[in-house]
Structure 1
């Protein structure tokens, strides 16, 4: 929902603030700043000096928080941003960047953004670049058949491993069922389907759906391509021009369109120093484990694993031992891999245990940061905490994308202020060779080849 300053001066510049529930929201953008540790002073500084372009990304990382904390954080950030915007004499509007596989505190965060009420919302989870599309009121993950790469499999996301998430899991196969399940019946769905588009076009169909939607209604449009998303954005603009207030939540592609940003393909990464590369894998998805296995096979390096059970009783000792082993690897081999356990026991599946493991992981990264010239982080929550806590960065600059859905950030590590190339690899993105290809791109300039 647009949340503009009280001043309605036509000379005011409007900034779109993207509230990103994990750092993978920059998958489709480049040339934009990201606030990693949001507070009033940082927001004020960015808005006063003027963000690059007309957008500013703010990492909330609320997917790693219990719902009550996530809501409180969003309310605080929104209030800080609006207060800072007054000082900067700019108008601000907000967008909630969301997971393309339907995870997160979706409805609680939309209500928080609209002052605790259930307004009218537009939810656009489609992410065509990585095969997440919505058709006929069902959200799909598209994959190629292993036997025939030309055959596309349409898999409802409810049938994928992402729907089995221990915190944000769901069973609803259609968007109707998903909204009913995840909102506990407190929100209603209004789908905009291909049949609606055929009659009056995408933009007009979306505009009409938004204008007709009652309070507590979420509009979810079919979208299978970037061009579809452009038209959905047109429909949103048309509704807003007629005075409709809309809470907007979307995957990364629609967020980039809303901000007027584009991706930038990058083929190589220049590392400073001697090219020492640290790979951090915190994601537990099966896809992440397959990528990690391929990386070990191609590089000959074995991942050093954080033992969850040991961390529960001797966190500091375990972290120090692992950090020492990684530092030796980085200095001798120029490449080191650290990972969480691949098999997560049922008793280790809640947010509290996850937070403990992440605390240990960031502690390890903080200790080896002086020995790193580049970092690849696999997993959304992992990427957020390793950047902001492990490396101590306050802000980052999105340089571009190394692969579809995989962003390269430039950030300054705490302490010596060195600029480090930092690769954000979402847990739900990539094939088995993704991490292997990324390591090669990092080693293309500077550093040794593996």
Structure 2
């Protein structure tokens, strides 16, 4: 894979341990002094991978945002699904979101902080989204942002930042993010693994790596809150703050210093993975969900799995799922998108078969053809538009279901977002918890197509090789 990969065991053995008891007590105290409403903008629905009992709104209307502000919870999520947007679309969406947040905050007389929860492998519309949020909030209010916190650590997904380099864990090895398949993303690719250099690369040199602020593991492990707070108090001109972390305790130490700096008047925007949201939102640990918690009603109908993601991990998990006897597979030939009439017929066939099988009590896995649709060099925007058409078609399978499945699992970030928002017509869902580490379950609201159904959001790049099969078998066993 790379000459720069390192053994997990070796790297972690060199990181000093520390007593977390006092950290856990101090963070609770700091959170009780933090009175800002936390709004998490999620570029796909996997950002709720670490939380439970939290609301997710699937639109950013003023009405939805006002409801979020009125909740007792200190935090709520807005699903933007912007990873599936063009640059123009995400700009418009983030202008609307920021303007509505400012208006809702004025009405409820609450201060707020915004976390842009990006895909934890550094992909997505960055720095565009946080730049637009900054400009719009500042234009519509008295607020000024001093800096931007970059914190992509996500333990459940094997994402660690050590010596400012972001790593992805593959079994026993840590691979620098810039050398993984994610860095080769056609739309959101990058070459740097050092987060300062990554932010410099992404901002086309507007922000220089050597001028950024780095929160080291040494400071975090020494629980040197004073030094970290001083570092944060000096940040200005929307400069970047790179946070190292290999465990939730590191995020807790950082959050203590962060809240102290914010309570002294500093304002930050955030680009983070899902770990920060759990810590700053004060979300407690919760055991993985049991089958009884997920399957609230008994039904003779089969369950539905939809597989859209093409990343390597999904393909491995899909191959493993094929070994299961409990499930029928239907391939959806999405390459027919280039021939609209044939595409329509193919979609009709898939919908008809899916309905029939679910009604008969058979579990169904619908998967998109595994080869990527490749139009060649320089055709990224066209490919993105076609992928939206494909995603719409996949979503319509759920929209056109005539029978209620016993459960729904969607594999892939954008796939699960579109199915949740458009297929299931969810306006607001509650995160019930996780079925496996980093794999959240929504309970749909009363307005959705199937009220109260358990909807498993299975990110493309999360889980062990056997997780998908095990989850399907767990839910399928009557």
Question: TM-score normalized by structure 2?
Answer: 0.83
How far, CA to CA, are the matches of 1:202 and 1:259 in structure 2? 22
Aligned to 2:151: 124
Asked if 1:193 is matched to 2:216, the reply is: yes
Tell whether the 8 Å contact from 1:263 to 1:400 is kept in structure 2 after alignment: no
Q: Which moved more, 1:172-181 or 1:231-240?
A: 172-181
Shift of 1:216: 3.9
* Residues 415 and 172 of structure 1, relative CA distance in 2, 3 Å threshold: closer
2:70 is the alignment partner of 1:61 = no
Which one of 369, 374, 377 corresponds to residue 341 of structure 1? 369
Normalised to the residue count of structure 1, the TM-score between the two structures is: 0.88
2:360 maps to which residue?
332
Aligned residue pair count: 425
SS at match of 2:322: helix
For structure 1, which runs of at least 5 residues remain unmatched after alignment? 1-10, 145-151
> Is 2:260 the partner of 1:238?
yes
User: How far, CA to CA, are the matches of 1:363 and 1:338 in structure 2?
Assistant: 12
Shift of 1:384: 0.7
- In the alignment, the residues of structure 2 paired with residue 156 and residue 383 of structure 1 have an alpha-carbon distance, to the nearest angstrom, of 27
2:470 to 426, 434, 437: 437
Aligned: 1:386 with 2:406: no
State the distance in 2 between where 1:358 and 1:208 align.
Answer: 47
Match of 1:149 in 2: none
- The Cα shift of 1:352 comes to 0.8
Taking the TM superposition and a 5 Å limit, the aligned residue runs for 1:101-112 are 101-112=121-132
Question: 2:458 maps to what in 1?
Answer: 425
Indicate how the Cα distance of structure 1 residues 303 and 161 shifts in structure 2: closer, same or farther if over 3 A, else same: farther
With 133-142 and 204-213 compared, the bigger mean Cα shift is at 204-213
Query: What residue is the counterpart of 1:405 in the other structure?
Result: 438
Distance in 2 (alpha carbons) for counterparts of 1:345 and 1:416: 31
Residue 42 of structure 1, CA deviation: 2.3
Measure, in 2, the Cα distance between the counterparts of 1:403 and 1:110.
30
Cα root mean square deviation, aligned? 2.3
Q: Are 1:28 and 2:43 an aligned pair?
A: no
- Residue 311 of structure 1 aligns with which residue? 337
Task: Please state how far the C-alpha of 1:301 moved relative to its aligned partner.
Answer: 3.6
- Candidates 256, 280, 285, aligned match of 2:306: 280
Would the aligned equivalents of 1:263 and 1:401 in 2 still touch at CA under 8 Å? no
Contact 2:326 2:476 in 1 (8 A): no
Q: Which runs of 5+ in 2 are unaligned?
A: 1-32, 139-144
Distance, in Å, in 1 between the alignment partners of 2:104 and 2:402 is 33
Question: Which residue of structure 2 aligns with residue 96 of structure 1?
Answer: 116
CA displacement 1:215-260 (0-9 Å, x = unmatched):
1421111101110010111121122122222112211011111111
The residue that corresponds to 1:148 in the other structure is none
